Amino acid sequence: MKLREYAAVPSIHRYIIVESTSVGLTVMEREQSDETLRLATLTGDDILRVPEIGIEIPVTEFYEDIDFQNETGP
């Protein structure tokens, strides 16, 4: 599992999974290199904060112009 591999790299402080079938982000994060990654789930009402690079992005911006009701499967 890639998550386990990413968690083993102390320099990775944030790992973000963008959901493809609904509005939401799964964020694994830690403040210090010696900490365990913590899970956070963000929805359309939340803001993704990445202080390491000084950005804050509303989750809804990742899904601008996407209508999940009209999306077709493979």
User: How many other CB atoms are there within 10 angstroms of residue 6's CB atom?
Assistant: 13
The pLDDT of residue 72: 58
Residue 50 belongs to a domain: yes
Largest Cα–Cα distance of the chain, in whole Å?
A: 44
pLDDT band at 2; cut points 50, 70, 90: confident
Specify the pTM: 0.80
Number of domains in the chain: 1
Give me the pLDDT at residue 24, please: 96
Taking the mean position of all CA atoms in its chain, how far away is CA 24? 8
Structure tokens at 62: 């990742």
Please indicate, yes or no, if residue 44 is contained in any of the structural domains: yes
Question: For residues 50, 52, 15 and 28, what is the CA-based torsion angle, rounded to 10 degrees?
Answer: -70
How does pLDDT run across 15-73, given as a tens digit for each residue? 999 999 999 999 999 988 888 999 999 999 999 999 989 999 999 999 998 888 865 55
**Residue 7 structural domain:** 2-66
Q: Is 25 inside a domain boundary?
A: yes
